[in-house]
Structure 1
Amino acid sequence: MTFTPLNALLLTAIVSSASVQAADYRKNPFTLVYEGAITANVAGKVNIHPVKYDLHGIQIAANVYTPANYDPAKKYPVVVVAHPNGGVKEQVAGLYAQRLAEHGYITITADAAYQGASGGMPRSVDKPANRIEDIHGMADYISQYPGADTTRIGLLGICGGGGYSLKAAQTDKRFKALATLSMFDSGLVRRNGYQDSQIATIQQRLQEASAARAREAATGEITYSGDAKLTDEQIAKLPFDLYRQGFEYYGKTHAHPNSTFRYTTSSLLDLMRFDAQSNMDLINQPLLMIAGSKADSLYMTESAFKKASGTQNKRLYLIEGATHIETYWVPRYVDQALSQLEPFFDKNI
């Protein structure tokens, strides 16, 4: 795809730091690409269990993490972790799932249907209803897992997974507490552009998405968006930290072959009418929203937090100095996020 500002802005989530060493998924038996990732299951330690399960006829690929000295005869609190747009379970979602397991939780993170190692055709369909159902499906599966306490399930959504987690928790009261990290409202950004940068082209892009769906129906041809290949020079000129640092994270330092920003253009028919922040009053569970103080995506977290009128137990926590993508991997920022997540879930699930 030829580079244009539109293509760049359709991408989500890169850390412009030459000192960051790229993780090699081929060197990890579970293809994990985050710092401190499990390399082998050791008795008495946190273990990882790759699993597959059916969700409405689609096979979902997930990783379950069990805490140290896990005993299936005992009961453990659970946290479901939803990954970012374009991300997979082996990246930031896996990092937070592993760290929460180290704290004593059973955790699960799954690749979205039609994405990653999960099934579904055509590939890279990216519809909000599917992503929300993925979260319900993770709760379904982990509720049957040996040792899972179904009365103590928490939900953590990261980036786009955070926006979809807001929607899932509005109606799924199995989730006793909800936390988001660097929340990203996929509908708002696909519709208006990042920081409202594409409002002038809304109708044009809807026409393009409509034409793409018409081609699919008439010929079976699938049109894709968001798969621009950019040079380092082009990346450096992108207007937002999220995109510049996102290309670094997903394309270089924490790259995984299953992770792609490509999505079917017809998905925009669903994405552009989606609003992660509608019906926020339905969230009556304890709510913790975490974001970097320097994140140019912070406006979405702040907006959603203000609309969460259904719970008195809510808190907005800013990680001082962090950008959106830096909350995914920079050790001091990850530690800071976990210093809030762990006591939040301890108290509320």
Structure 2
Amino acid sequence: MKHTGLKATLMAAMVGLGAGEAGAADYRKNPFTLVYDGAITANQPGKVNIHPVTFTLNGLSISANVYTPANYDSTKHYPAVVVAHPNGGVKEQVAGLYAQRLAEQGYITITADAAYQGASGGLPRSVDKPSNRIEDIHGMADFITGYPGVDSARMGLLGICGGGGYSLAAAQTDKRFKSIATLSMFNSGRVRRNGYADSQLDSIQARLQQASKARAQEAAGGEVLYSGDANLTDEQIAKLPFDLYRQGYEYYWKTHAHPNSTFKYTTSSLLDLMRFDATDQIELIDKPLLMIAGSKADSLYMTEDAFAKAMGTSDKELFKLEGATHIETYWVPKYVNAAMEKLTAFFSRTL
């Protein structure tokens, strides 16, 4: 949904926002290009530190940030949490916020840009296939278990929005994760197939035809086609039927904008996305499961559906943040604090 030609304008608008409007930071003023409120600006002894790293996954360079707890000592043993970012998001946004907050609670955390997205490698850009996103999670686990001080027997997983759906899929088979949490889980396959709130059931076959033609065009060496790259005015955004999309534009375009973040994805990715569902085989998850979502989120139906189907574990909880919408769980302090309180207790008990 983001148009690259607007980036300069959006960044300028972002600087002009009042502090009370979003509690966000200008990525250009942060040495690590972090955009969330309270982000680390410098590594200081005795405090939570951030460590930009790269690693290779299936031949691609993956860009990640590792957060270490205050007074980190590489000779000691710490639990770890892998954090998977939302669709269209990057590690410098909400995933970084929760990774930093978890590090404040004593965890070594990692969040990485998805392959083909953000600062990670891969061409064409913005490929968004479930198999890649799931492999990204496995890859973060590979890397962080070898990080100095990490106790690989105490590793958890937190997936946010689309990263939540892919985390459910990854955790079905990757038993290195001892507990799994999701925040505002978004089942990417269901939405790409059925439309948001199942609003496009009558156009599934037509959209599959479009995706098939896009793949054929790519295979023939033609232009790569993209979906989700709409250029909307403020008036058009205000008329969107769902809170997630209206507030998502505000978050990703203005208050927490980052140049590596884009909602667009290759149209050919729909061939993979539309046959995926985060709840397929979800009964394979036999570890503790915490699912957090806003009580007013119009995406809540996806969390409730997945929670009901997660029959492989008896240790599960659905926690609703009273009054929160989907995007508000990303940055509104009272909702972030409430989510962190649940996450801290959950990972403390299970890791």
The TM-score with structure 2 as length reference comes to: 0.94
Q: 2:130 aligns with which of 128, 131, 155?
A: 128
Displacement of 1:19 in angstroms is 2.6
- Report percent identity of matched pairs: 76
> CA RMSD for the aligned pairs?
1.4
Give the corresponding residue for 1:48. 50
What per-residue deviation string (whole Å, max 9, x for no partner) do you get for residues 33-83 of structure 1?
000000000011000000000001000000000000000000000000000
Give the corresponding residue for 1:119. 121
Gaps of 5+ in 2: 4-18
More moved, 338-347 vs 21-30: 21-30
Displacement of 1:326 in angstroms is 0.1
Given that 2:293 and 2:303 are in contact with CA atoms closer than 8 Å, whether structure 1 keeps it comes out as yes
Runs of 4+ in structure 1 displaced over 2 angstroms? 17-23
Given that 1:22 and 1:252 are in contact with CA atoms closer than 8 Å, whether structure 2 keeps it comes out as no
Q: 1:93 aligns with which of 92, 95, 105?
A: 95
Distance 1:2 1:245 in 2: 13
Displacement of 1:221 in angstroms is 1.9
SS in 2 for 1:19: helix
Q: 1:33 aligns with which of 32, 35, 38?
A: 35
Distance 2:148 2:280 in 1: 35
Q: 2:26 aligns with which of 24, 30, 50?
A: 24
Q: 2:66 aligns with which of 64, 67, 70?
A: 64
Displacement of 1:220 in angstroms is 3.6
Give the corresponding residue for 1:138. 140
Displacement of 1:280 in angstroms is 1.2
Displacement of 1:258 in angstroms is 0.2
Distance 1:163 1:139 in 2: 17
What per-residue deviation string (whole Å, max 9, x for no partner) do you get for residues 73-130 of structure 1?
0000000000000000000000000000000000000000000000001100000000
Q: 1:186 aligns with which of 180, 185, 188?
A: 188
Given that 2:24 and 2:36 are in contact with CA atoms closer than 8 Å, whether structure 1 keeps it comes out as no
What per-residue deviation string (whole Å, max 9, x for no partner) do you get for residues 170-229 of structure 1?
000000000000000000000000001111111110000000000001124201111111
Distance 2:2 2:335 in 1: 35
Distance 2:22 2:286 in 1: 40
Given that 1:23 and 1:255 are in contact with CA atoms closer than 8 Å, whether structure 2 keeps it comes out as no
Distance 2:251 2:144 in 1: 29
Give the corresponding residue for 2:251. 249
Alignment of 1:292-331 (within 5 A): 292-331=294-333
Alignment of 1:73-84 (within 5 A): 73-84=75-86
Gaps of 5+ in 1: 4-16
What per-residue deviation string (whole Å, max 9, x for no partner) do you get for residues 125-157 of structure 1?
000000000000000000100000000000000
2:155 is equivalent to residue 153 of structure 1: yes
SS in 2 for 1:54: strand
The TM-score with structure 1 as length reference comes to: 0.95
Given that 2:116 and 2:122 are in contact with CA atoms closer than 8 Å, whether structure 1 keeps it comes out as yes
